[in-house]
Chains A and B, each alone.
Chain A
């Protein structure tokens, strides 16, 4: 079955840039969505359709896709950005979707 691969953890200093990768064979042709989940809370979508930031999401969140890898970037990470981040995308035939394994972002 289709898989999306993310690094288990990323650390970033306060105010610096964090990059979280998501790799999958179908990413060149399928939209990627990114979700943030803080402990004990429901997920929040921070990026939709590869690069679009939903209303209310800070400008420091952005994303891009190159080949089979999508990258979520947090520019100027804040303490409140400490959370788990998940990518979501479809398999090559759009028969189903999968979440990536998740990346824990720690702001130092």
Chain B
């Protein structure tokens, strides 16, 4: 079965670091972009960036560049999103998503990882 499994909910303090994961299964991980989408409580979807696991090519939202880092491990078919120093404003649900064939035609979504920074 083609799916994206995300790591569990996190509760962190401001200033702490964090790395959440998105493990792909059922398809060729290196052949598709993986995107990250943030949704703050009660707010809309926010495009964070995308990574191409084959060569780790990345595109970041200008508003988030330098705030987060996307990476991918081909050996474990896992994409990661990490922060060096969390802020309260990072509190959100973080979704990973895989496109159908292009970059952002996201047809497959992970269940989301809730992150609370308080």
* A99 adjacent to B46 (CB under 8 Å): yes
Q: Size class of B's contact patch?
A: 20 to 34
Contact of B47 among A37, A42, A84, A98 (CB under 8 A): A98
* B104 adjacent to A33 (CB under 8 Å): yes
A-B contact count (CB 8 A): 63
A58 to B110, CA, bound (A): 23
Residues of chain A lying within 8 A (CB to CB) of residue B62 = 1, 95-96
Q: Bits for B60-101, please: 1 = Cβ < 8 Å to A, else 0.
A: 111100000000000000000000000000000001010010
A104 to B60, CA, bound (A): 27
A2 to B63, CA, bound (A): 11
* B44 adjacent to A88 (CB under 8 Å): no
CB proximity to B under 8 Å, residues A60-108 = 84, 86, 88, 90, 95-102
Contact of A43 among B49, B50, B103, B106 (CB under 8 A): B106
Residues of chain B lying within 8 A (CB to CB) of residue A88 = 45, 47, 104
A98 to B103, CA, bound (A): 13
Decide if A49 is an interface residue (CB 8 Å cutoff).
yes
Decide if B13 is an interface residue (CB 8 Å cutoff).
no
* A33 adjacent to B60 (CB under 8 Å): no
* A35 adjacent to B106 (CB under 8 Å): yes
A23 to B13, CA, bound (A): 38
Decide if B112 is an interface residue (CB 8 Å cutoff).
yes
Decide if B2 is an interface residue (CB 8 Å cutoff).
no
Binding site for B on A (CB under 8 A): 1, 31, 33, 35, 37, 42-43, 45, 48-49, 54, 84, 86, 88, 90, 95-102
